[in-house]
Amino acid sequence: MIDYEKVLNGRIKSTKPSGIRKYFDMAETMEGVISLGVGEPDFKTPWVVRQEAVNILDKGKTNYTANSGLLELRKEIALYLKNKIDTDYDPKNEIIVTVGGSEAIDLAIRCIVEPGDEVLVCEPSFVCYKPIAELSGAKVVSLETRAEDDFRLTAEALKEKISDRTKLLILPFPNNPTGAIMTRKDLEEIAEVLKDTNIAVISDEIYSELTYGEKHCSLAQIEGMRERTVIVDGFSKAFAMTGWRLGFLAAPKPITEQMLKLHQYAIMSSPTVSQYAAITALRQCSADIVKMRDEYNMRRRYLVDAFNRMGLECFTPKGAFYVFPSIKSTGLTSEEFCEKLILEKRVAVVPGNAFGDCGEGYIRVSYAYSIAHLKEAIKRIGEFLEERNKVS
């Protein structure tokens, strides 16, 4: 009989499964649960994009594309980046179309990191950076961001954690789960620390279209930073295209050359129908982005106000579609809070510590839901807190 213990990769065996699985399982077995737990837009993909996909299927354009993606799409991406972050990327060899932002992150980390390297990861943050870096044999060093700094990465915190072995910094802003953004000034301070080092940066900008009151700024825009920055971006959040699995990387040619090899062997090319549809998204859907952003913004204001009123202190996020209120005043841990909330009031939220240890004491609440839905959830959370206050 086969001995799975011996057959399977030790590193993947020791990787922890995502901490939020438990709540997912709980929610699924219960009646009447309302969720504030998702990380994808509630909007539909704009109609013109869906229609283009139908057209492309009709025409039978279902072959592989070039490894790095349709040139026409890469050209549109280059234009889009020029408009958004005023930075030039050569569509011929500095852009790779990937299977979602997720593949882009995987490619970028694996092409940079080797066993023994140290990778600096801002936390709290999206759950995949650490396991992927560890699978490559790297040591992950957490850069904790704090509420008192508006959950931004500070130059001091970065300086403190840099060692001779530091190879890579992961900079995920606008941030999931905190909703924090980095301003140009913040990034300039980070650039000052990085400029004389040989540290590369993965700038995960998947939420960059969703900032409120301030336009997104990329590290690549700061003088001297483009050469070391790998931009991860995509269509999922900006164009409500999660299920199309389409993202992209933009980086200097010496980096993309290596990444393209891995992409070519592991993926071949990203989904063809999605690529054609994405061209339409970039050409025709900027008004849809504005509409969605306005709608998210109203919900964001509503939730921040509601949580603060209920006594759960909530930092005002300026990006993404999450709020990250503190639940420390309840005396519960994040996991206890989430478990009791779902059992007693049937509201599913995500414990902050699922995004790194320093997320303890917080919960992540998504506002990719209608106002009516959010109101009902806030009503239930209010009741939950009131009942707890009575008991204690």
Partner 1 sequence: MEKLIKLLRQNARLSNEELAVMLGVSADEVKEMIAKLEADGIIKGYSAIIDESEYDPNSVFAMIELGVTPQSQSGYEDIARQIASYDEVASVRLMSGTYDILVEVIGANIREVSHFVSQRLATIDAVQSTATHFVLKAYKDNGIIIDGEEKDERSWICP
Q: What is the dihedral of CA 99, 102, 107, 110, to 10 degrees?
A: -150
266 touching partner 1, by CB under 8 A: no
The answer to whether 125 and 319 are in contact (CB under 8 A) is: no
Site for partner 1, residues 334 to 373, rule: CB under 8 A = 348, 350, 354-355, 371-372
Per-residue binding letters, 142-181, with partner 1 (x by CB under 8 A): ----------------------------------x-----
* Residue keyed to tokens 């000034």: 185
Q: Smallest distance, Å, CB 35 to partner 1?
A: 5
Which residue, 245 or 299, has its beta carbon nearer to partner 1? 299
332 touching partner 1, by CB under 8 A: no
- Distance of CA 234 to CAs 116, 240, 249, Å? 30, 10, 8
The answer to whether 168 and 117 are in contact (CB under 8 A) is: yes
Q: Smallest distance, Å, CB 244 to partner 1?
A: 15
126 touching partner 1, by CB under 8 A: yes
Q: How many residues contact partner 1, by CB under 8 A?
A: 30
Which residue, 170 or 219, has its beta carbon nearer to partner 1? 170
Residues 55, 317: Cα–Cα separation, whole Å: 39
Backbone angles phi, psi at 86, to 5 degrees: 50, 45
SS3 at position 27:
helix
Residues 259, 251: Cα–Cα separation, whole Å: 10
Roughly how many angstroms between the first and final C-alpha of the chain, as a whole number?
56
Q: Smallest distance, Å, CB 27 to partner 1?
A: 4
What single-letter amino acid sits at 53? Answer: A
289 touching partner 1, by CB under 8 A: no
Per-residue binding letters, 11-30, with partner 1 (x by CB under 8 A): -------x-x--xx--xx--
Residues that bind partner 1 (CB under 8 A): 18, 20, 23-24, 27-28, 33, 35, 37-40, 42, 126-128, 176, 294, 298-299, 301-302, 305-306, 348, 350, 354-355, 371-372
